[in-house]
Amino acid sequence: MNQENSPEKCIQGATGLVLNEPLLWEKGKKGRTGISIPKQDVEKAETDPNLVGEGPDFPDLSEVDIIRHYTRLSQWNYGVDAGHVSSGVLHHEIQPKDK
Amino acid sequence: VAVQTPNFFGVIEDLSAVSEKIHQAQALLVACASEPLAYGLYKNPGTQGADIACAEGQSLGVPRSFGGPALGMFASKMAHVRNMPGRLVGKTVDMEGRRGFVLTLATREQHIRREKATSNICTNHSLCALASAMYMASLGGTGIRELARLNFDKTEYLKGQLKKSGVKIAFESPTFNEFTAQFPSGFQSVYEKLLKRKLWPEFLCPYYPELPDHYLLCVTETKTREDLDELVREVTT
């Protein structure tokens, strides 16, 4: 075993949480959408220009952008399956794994 | 002063106009919505002077579940955040300058205020909020606009078709995806027939006895032009 791979040098897993996933606003591209919106089968109606706004500031993402983002976040979740969790006052009765 | 828009009858209220009057009286404007998708198309409450905005979040990706768990949406101007129930997460940096998020304000939460708490957030709320966040991410800015537009256009289509068939539209003000129609007296029997076919306008009489034969109709993206034509045929023959 060379020096690089020695047990002292090799990091088996990061301790704590490493949250360096970009925000959804920093991903995606204008025009993408993650859901299939039903087709427009009626005529466009007239709107009142005084009432119409710009809509919310949401990023445009594809389905796979979203799946990867949330899957990545879920893998950083720390719970009883990843390590010790001390019993809280509310939920201590439902942690059989930690006993 | 709490103002609901779209209101009970589906009508869009002029928040800017009421905001001026409410603020002149040194009061706060609380804007509420049961259909937040309306703001994919219409101006949001904040730009129209609301101090606090809240909405029912169920239509953003949460199943109906017999009326079961859903989520509320809540926003306020910075001046009122210390009185806000719930928890606010803030963005910050760690000692090495890396971005991180942390529970910043929870001044009214159960574990901070005990007997003075005004909120009690549990695991299930987070689950509904997460599902809703994913739904909103799936829609995106372009998608939410398109969906809101589709809801509006289909509703206007049904409104137009009913008008052509002689049904009276109760309020002429702009609506989003709900509107109130006044059917001819004796419509009750047609209504019961519709219920059996699971076409379901809401009968408003129990809530407003002064509005007999008024029904609330709602059209979303799930209804096709054929569905709407069928409803018009059913109610006018």
Question: Tens of pLDDT along A9-64?
Answer: 544 555 555 557 889 999 989 999 999 999 999 999 999 999 999 999 999 999 99
Say which of B41, B138, B222 has its CB closest to residue A52.
B41
Q: Which of A54, A79, A86 is nearest to B43 (CA)?
A: A54
- CA gap B88, A97 in Å, rounded: 31
Q: Please tell me the predicted confidence (pLDDT) of residue B170.
A: 92
Closest CA of chain B from A10, distance in Å: 23
- CA gap B71, B59 in Å, rounded: 10
Q: Please tell me the predicted confidence (pLDDT) of residue A44.
A: 95
Beta B30-33 vs B214-218: how paired, if at all? Answer: unpaired
Angle CA(B217)–CA(B222)–CA(B225) in degrees, nearest 5?
75
Instruction: Please indicate whether, in this complex, the C-beta atoms of A41 and B225 are within 8 angstroms of each other.
Output: yes
| Tens digit of pLDDT at every position of chain B (237 positions) | 999 999 999 999 999 999 999 999 999 999 999 999 999 999 999 999 999 999 999 999 998 888 888 888 999 999 998 888 878 889 999 898 888 888 888 877 777 777 778 777 777 788 899 999 999 999 999 999 999 999 999 999 999 999 999 999 999 899 999 999 998 888 888 888 888 877 766 777 778 888 888 989 999 999 999 999 988 988 887
Structure tokens at A61: 């993402």
| Nearest residue of chain B to residue A30 (CA atoms) | B142
Q: Please tell me the predicted confidence (pLDDT) of residue B53.
A: 96
Q: Assign A1 a pLDDT band (cuts: 50, 70, 90).
A: very low
Instruction: Please indicate whether, in this complex, the C-beta atoms of B43 and A51 are within 8 angstroms of each other.
Output: yes
pTM recorded for the entire structure: 0.84
Instruction: Please indicate whether, in this complex, the C-beta atoms of A41 and B147 are within 8 angstroms of each other.
Output: no
Instruction: Please indicate whether, in this complex, the C-beta atoms of B142 and A45 are within 8 angstroms of each other.
Output: no
Q: Are A38 and B222 in contact (CB under 8 A)?
A: yes
Q: Please tell me the predicted confidence (pLDDT) of residue A52.
A: 94
Mean local confidence (pLDDT), A75-94:
68
Q: Are B3 and B30 in contact (CB under 8 A)?
A: yes
What percentage of chain A reaches a pLDDT higher than 70?
67
Instruction: Please indicate whether, in this complex, the C-beta atoms of A41 and B145 are within 8 angstroms of each other.
Output: no
Q: Are A45 and B157 in contact (CB under 8 A)?
A: yes
Q: Are A55 and B144 in contact (CB under 8 A)?
A: yes
Say which of A33, A37, A55 has its CB closest to residue B150.
A37
Q: Assign A90 a pLDDT band (cuts: 50, 70, 90).
A: low
- CA gap B9, B217 in Å, rounded: 9
Instruction: Please indicate whether, in this complex, the C-beta atoms of A34 and B156 are within 8 angstroms of each other.
Output: no
Closest CA of chain A from B212, distance in Å: 29
Beta B168-169 vs B30-33: how paired, if at all? Answer: unpaired
Q: Scan for tokens 């007296």, then name that residue.
A: B185
Q: Are A69 and B172 in contact (CB under 8 A)?
A: no
Query: What is the CB neighbour count within 10 angstroms for residue B182?
Result: 17
Give the residue from A19, A29, A30, A35 with the most B CB atoms within 10 Å of its CB, the best one to mutate. Answer: A35
Q: Please tell me the predicted confidence (pLDDT) of residue B37.
A: 95
A interface with B, Cβ–Cβ below 8 Å: 19-20, 24, 28, 30-35, 37-38, 40-48, 51-53, 55-61, 63, 66, 69-70
Q: Which of B143, B226, B40, B42 is nearest to A37 (CA)?
A: B143
Element (H, E) at B233: helix B225-236
Q: Please tell me the predicted confidence (pLDDT) of residue A93.
A: 55
Of residues A65 and B118, more confidently modeled: A65
Q: Please tell me the predicted confidence (pLDDT) of residue B188.
A: 84
Task: For residue B136, report the phi and psi dihedrals to the nearest 5 degrees.
Answer: -65, -35
Determine whether A56 is exposed, middle or buried from the number of CB atoms within 10 Å of its CB (0-12, 13-18, 19+): middle
Instruction: Please indicate whether, in this complex, the C-beta atoms of B39 and A41 are within 8 angstroms of each other.
Output: no
| Nearest residue of chain B to residue A73 (CA atoms) | B130
Q: How far is CA B147 from the centre of its chain?
A: 14
Q: Please tell me the predicted confidence (pLDDT) of residue B146.
A: 95
B interface with A, Cβ–Cβ below 8 Å: 12, 39-44, 47, 98-101, 134-150, 152-154, 156-157, 160, 174, 221-222, 224-225, 228
- CA gap B16, B36 in Å, rounded: 18
Q: Please tell me the predicted confidence (pLDDT) of residue A36.
A: 93
Question: What sign results for the dihedral spanned by CA atoms B188, B193, B199, B200?
Answer: positive
In chain B, DSSP finds a helix count (H) and a strand count (E) of 5, 10
Q: Which residues of B touch A56 (CB under 8 A)?
A: 39-40, 44, 141, 144
Q: Output the CA–CA distances (angstroms, integers) from residue B33 to A46, B2, B133, in the order listed.
A: 22, 10, 18
